[in-house]
Structure 1
Amino acid sequence: MLARLLGRYLRPHWPLLVAVGIFQLAQSLASLYLPSLNADIIDQGVAKGDIDYIFSTGAMMLGVTLIQVVCAISAVYFGARSAMLLGRDLRGAVFGKVSEFSEREVSKFGAPSLITRSTNDVQQVQMVVLMMCTLFVSAPILAVGGVIMALREDPGLSWLMGVSIPILLVGLGLIIVRMMPLFQSMQKRIDNVNRVLREQLTGIRVVRAFVREDVETKRFADANAELTDVALKVGKLFALMFPMVMLVLNVSSVAVIWFGGLRVDSGEIEVGTLMAFLQYLMQILMAVMMATFMAVMLPRAAVSADRIGEVLETESSVVPPSNPVTELHESGTVELLDTSFAYPGAEESVLHNISFRVQPGTTTAIIGSTGSGKTTLVNMLPRLFDATGGSVLVDGVDVRELDPDLLWSRIGIVPQKPYLFSGTVASNLRYGRPEATDEELWEALEVAQAAGFVRRMEDGLESSIAQGGTNVSGGQRQRLAIARALVKRPEIYVFDDSFSALDSATDARLRAALTSERADATRIIVAQRVSSIIDADQIIVLEHGRIVGMGTHDELLETSETYAEIVSSQLTAEEAA
């Protein structure tokens, strides 16, 4: 998967990679040339006392060094740019894919895991690309070139390379093999830390209300300790790696000087040749170490790439139509025909053979006990889920055949848990229709019974809203979410238990204003409170995912035992009548 990701997302940046290759090649050749010049200075200049030769060759070494530095800086610059662009493209691809997911896929991965995959996992792949551009390109050139140049200087000491290089490779290989499973475990434990932290931040009020700070602190400490344990094991292996590399390097240096000194003493080689051979051996071993360090990075990057690829290769269960319908001739009609829905792997369907029709300009209410399938039913209208049986029609066309943008423009949904984005009151209200004027915003706020408290805010429409709307009360958040849907002015409004946080008086005023100001729109209301739906044109009673009653309030009191029980549990006989 890592190779496929790199091939796909680095291909557009190939000019940068070519530049990296050219500069790394030039830098490596300069590095290989310097020991040879150093040997010449010692053998031809120092040994013979030729000052002119020392200065001329030294100047040449300075020039080569300057070229090496410039090429190294350029290679790192272009390599870093390639890696950052790859990270940008990968994050964009993951975000784009996740935004296409239905609630089914989001639930499958979980929000904390998706966050980790688009941040930490992308960072691991990004880092390995940076290391490849800065180390992996030059390592083989230095290793192969170093062997050639070392043999050119003195073949008699070549056996030292044949001993030291395999020892270094075997030692580092054993460490890498132990690191690979630890990297896999580390990414999962990062997911777990993110999950626990996200739960605690989101549910901080619940934590404090139940005085569970100590329990949650211990929960986070346990998740944190698990991640720390794995990180320490990886750190210990890293700590073992560098002393081992330095041991091999130093022992090899001593061996070269020892055996090379014997050859210098016997007159077989010059001192400069010995120094050059030593430098080439160090370059070879450092190249092997760099390549091995890359090999250490690759397993973790491969794990991260697999996790990213899993997201990118997951197809949404809500698939856009190949030939979408882009025009509708009706306005606001909703119909379900023998519709069923079951979650993947579930033993039983959530909804069974649901059929009803909603006419434009009418109010249809859906009521039932907790878990009866009310929210699942309305979530099929904007295709947050797709029906697993039967059809859901909007304006006479199956929603699976409609252009998604056209479908979403027709429906304004206020979810069961309203969510506001960080920004201002105005930016939240304009979320569905950016071109809405201030007058239209105030009109929607009036209908939603939210104009009063917005006027009392210090900056009115420009008052700040915290992420999630945590700086306003639950009822205010609910009314702002309703106003946001009203600003959009769709043909179909879906209120998923959206009046539950409102008192009865505000609820009644809001419904009256909604019926008056949006008389031509279709209104679908999911409710727990009978008083919120008593005047609906049509009430659908759900129980265990099946329709057990349908009609007006008065009709259902006569024909539906389930509805009559719900009414009697909430209203007196006089109120019900």
Structure 2
Amino acid sequence: MIKTLLAQVKEFKKASFLTPVFMILEVVVETLIPLVMADMIDHGVEAGNISYLYQRGAIMALLAVAGLVTGILGGKYGAYASSGFARNLRKAMYTNIQTYSFSNIDKFSTASLITRLTTDVTNLQNAYQMILRMCTRAPASLICAMAMAFMINARIASIYLIAVIFLGCFLVFIMRKATKYFREVFEKYDDLNASVQENINAVRVVKAYVREDYETTKFQKACNKVYEMFVRAEKLVVMNMPVMQFTVYACILGISWLGAKMIVGGSLTTGELMSLLTYCMNILMSLMMLSMVFVMVTMSAASAERVSEVINEKADLADPQNPVMEVADGSIVFDHVDFSYKKDSKEPVLKDINLSIHAGETIGIIGGTGSAKSSLVNLISRLYDVSSGSVKVGGVDVRKYHMDSLRNQVAVVLQKNVLFSGTILENLRWGDKDASEEECRRVCQLACADDFIEKMPDKYHTYIEQGGTNVSGGQKQRLCIARALLKKPKVLILDDSTSAVDTATDARIRKAFAEEIPDTTKLIIAQRISSIQSADRIIVMDEGRISGFGTHEELMKNNAIYQEVYNSQIKGGGDFDENKGGEQA
């Protein structure tokens, strides 16, 4: 974990080195000031030597300026190093997330990743700055002050030693107890962020069902859990200050009482006593700084683990050595394919799938909810790897391709359509960043999206709100289809991507595909038989298996499930899930 985090210091190593150097210099200067002050009192004030006072006063002023400069430089480099460290952590996490396969992403919730990129990294940033500055300054100040105190009077300095041992044991006790609570706190933050995210994403549903009070109550519960965990942790941490103050005042009383007796006895001077009191404050303030570092490190320990998890997570899918860079054609072959989302699953999602699809064919896929239609097509672009068997595109196993090359030739319009904030053109150019406006218009005509775009005030320069909230479901689907077509793919997969489109527009899209991109293999997942009836062949999925594969006419003759759905839909109003295994129409 530590190695993972320190690897992100990178170009900020110099600043990370200079920060403790300047902090140590500041400590050395601060340690010298009490010595000069003691000399000033013993040989200047008590002797009445004004010139000596001026001389030592000038030295103290120079030391103070030197302490100020080194302190400022230490703070500057510390802030620079910690901010850069946090930037690199966020970059490393975000970059690694982009390499994740779907199975990797399934391990982390969206809310958890957001918490790790924000709250957890901020905790580490603060902890890193504290370690560079306070974790260097406090021990250095403690050691220097203790050495000077023993040099002046070992008997009185032993009081410091007792105080240091007592406080050290107490801090270890607090740290061990509080760490557990802080680790739980950040897990509760995930729940809090999840509640906010879910509520904002579904705000229209919340308002439609008048559930604002329910959502508010749910959020308050999440807030209360975070509050309760913080209270438990802080109850332990706040004990630090009163114990620290008790120790400071006890030391001052002990030094004053013992020092006064020694001054009367002639074994200690007034200046030396004042220096010892100053070093007392230095030592105990150093312990207080260390306690603050311990608290921050305690809080950030859980954050460090969570951030390291994201950085160290290795993508389940990787490019092979000497990958194939070109996809020859759009032919697809499934050879005895089994697939499970988890390796330890007892029952596979897809079972013994055998398919052979020719380049340029239009293949319809129909099946009930949970029949693994989407799982089937996800294997083609290698969003997941098969558990056994093989999937071939263009005659080559998809695992032998460079993933970017494969996915550039296998365009997928997913069941959940996503548009990004930006203009229509910017969204379309996700398919091809160098596409001209004319090319964008062309694919929009194929996807029947140009009709509504031309009616918009700014046409192709119309701004799309985040998530595409200012366009309808059908319009969003057509824009996503156009975006996929811009890739000029050899395989086009439409995962129930025309469900929000009216029947007439759906027919126009299918006709345009047949006429304009005949060489592209098209796989269309649909619930309406009318959407796939004219396909070259149709796959009927049932509980992870292929129940039937053939033309519409062939399935009408020999596939009972297909017959039931067709008859119910011709009759009007039926869908696959309602009629599968139901009463024959």
Q: Same fold (TM over 0.5)?
A: yes
In the TM superposition, structure 1's runs of 4+ consecutive aligned residues that sit over 4 Å from their partners are none
Task: Please give the alpha-carbon distance, in whole angstroms, between the structure 1 residues aligned to 2:18 and 2:449.
Answer: 59
Q: Which residue of 2 aligns with 1:35?
A: 34
Deviation at 1:247, TM superposition (A): 2.1
- 2:523 alignment partner AA: I
**Alignment TM-score, normalising by the size of structure 1:** 0.96
Alignment of 1:44-83 (within 5 A): 44-83=43-82
Q: What secondary structure, in the 3-state scheme, does the structure 2 residue paired with 1:137 have?
A: helix
- 1:94-243 matches, within 5 Å, as 94-243=93-242
* 2:289 corresponds to 1:290: yes
The equivalent of 2:401 in structure 1 is 402
Coordinate RMSD, CA, aligned: 1.7
SS at match of 2:324: coil
Contact 2:240 2:291 in 1 (8 A): no
Question: Counterpart amino acid of 1:201?
Answer: I
Q: Give distance in 1, aligned partners of 2:493 and 2:231.
A: 52
Does 2:534 match 1:535?
A: yes
Deviations 1:224-245 (A, max 9, x none): 1100111222333333322221
**In 1, Cα distance between equivalents of 2:377 and 2:135:** 54
Query: What is the CA–CA distance in structure 1 between the aligned matches of 2:528 and 2:177, rounded to whole Å?
Result: 60
Paired with 2:460 and 2:68, the residues of 1 have a C-alpha distance of 57
Report the Cα offset of residue 322 of structure 1.
Answer: 2.3
Farther-moved stretch of structure 1 (351-360 vs 387-396): 351-360
Contact 2:556 2:563 survives alignment (8 Å): yes
Q: 2-side partners of 1:491 and 1:460: how far apart?
A: 29
- Give per-residue Cα distances to partners, 1:272-330, cap 9 Å, x unaligned: 111111111211111122222212222222221212222233222222212311234x2
**Map of 1:263 onto structure 2:** 262
Structure 2 equivalent of residue 374 of structure 1: 373
Question: C-alpha displacement at 1:139, in angstroms?
Answer: 1.4
Equivalent residue for 1:310?
309
Q: TM-score, normalised by structure 2?
A: 0.95
After TM superposition, the structure 1 = structure 2 runs for residues 481-496 of structure 1, keeping only pairs within 5 Å, are 481-496=480-495
Separation in 1, partners of 2:232, 2:43: 52
SS at match of 2:310: helix
Residue type matched to 1:389 in 2?
A: S
Report the AA paired with residue 334 of structure 2.
L
Contact map agreement 1:19 1:78 (CA 8 A) in 2: yes
Deviates more, 1:261-270 or 1:140-149: 261-270
* Amino acid in the other structure paired with 2:377: V
1:11-48, Cα deviation, whole Å (9 max, x unpaired): 54322222113211211111111111111121111112
Whole-angstrom distance in 2 between the partners of 1:109 and 1:386: 19
DSSP 3-state at the match of 1:108: coil
Equivalent residues of 1:447, 1:483 under 8 A apart: yes
Segments of 5+ residues of structure 2 without an aligned counterpart are: 575-585
Q: Indicate the residue corresponding to 1:332 in structure 2.
A: 330
CA contact (8 A) 2:9 2:88 kept: no
Cα offset for 1:10?
A: 2.5
Q: Compute the displacement of 1:393 (Å).
A: 0.8
> Which one-letter code corresponds to 2:280 in the other structure?
L
Give the conservation status (yes or no) of the 8 Å contact 2:379–2:385. Answer: yes
Asked if 2 retains the 8 angstrom alpha-carbon contact of 1:366 and 1:540, the reply is yes
CA contact (8 A) 2:431 2:485 kept: no
Which residue in 1 is equivalent to 2:347? 348
Aligned to 1:385: 384
Match of 1:513 in 2: 512
Q: Which residue of 1 aligns with 2:459?
A: 460
CA distance in 2, matches of 1:546, 1:491: 26
Q: Is the 8 A contact 1:5 1:305 kept in 2?
A: no
- Identify the residue that residue 469 of structure 1 maps to in structure 2: 468
Equivalent residue number for residue 275 of structure 2: 276
Per-residue CA deviation, residues 240-282 of structure 1 (Å, 9 max, x unaligned), is 3222212221221222222212222222211111111111121
Mapped to 2, the partners of 1:108 and 1:22 lie a distance apart of 42
- Structure 1 residues 207 and 166, CA gap change in structure 2 (3 angstroms): same
Tell me which moved more, 210-219 or 409-418: 210-219
The CA deviation string for residues 184-207 of structure 1, in whole angstroms up to 9 with x for no partner, is 111110111111211111222222
The amino acid across from 2:317 in the alignment is: V
Contact 1:366/1:525, CA 8 A, preserved across alignment: yes
Residue type matched to 2:331 in 1?
A: T
Relative to structure 2, which stretch is displaced further, 94-103 or 184-193? 94-103
Hey, what's the Cα distance between the residues in 1 that align with 2:358 and 2:202?
40
In the alignment, structure 1 residue 18 sits paired with structure 2 residue 27: no
In terms of mean alpha carbon deviation, does 491-500 or 232-241 score higher? 232-241
Q: Distance in 2 between matches of 1:50 and 1:515?
A: 106
Q: CA contact under 8 A between 1:339 and 1:353: conserved in structure 2?
A: yes
Cα contact 1:336–1:393 (8 A) shared by 2: yes
- Provide the residue aligned with 2:318 in structure 1: 319
> Structure 1: how far apart are the matches of 2:5 and 2:214?
43
1:431 aligns with 2:430: yes
1:385-417 C-alpha deviation (Å, 9 max, x unpaired): 111111111111111110111101101111001
Runs of at least 5 residues in structure 1 that lack an aligned partner in the other structure: none
The Cα of 1:211 is off from its aligned counterpart by: 2.7
3-state DSSP class of the match of 1:259?
A: helix
Deviation larger for 419-428 or 307-316: 307-316
Residues 442-487 of structure 1: CA distance to partner in whole angstroms, max 9, x if unpaired?
1111221111222222222222112211222111111111111112
Is the CA contact 1:76–1:133 (under 8 Å) kept in the aligned structure 2? no
Paired with 2:456 and 2:230, the residues of 1 have a C-alpha distance of: 48
Partner of 2:430, secondary structure, is: coil
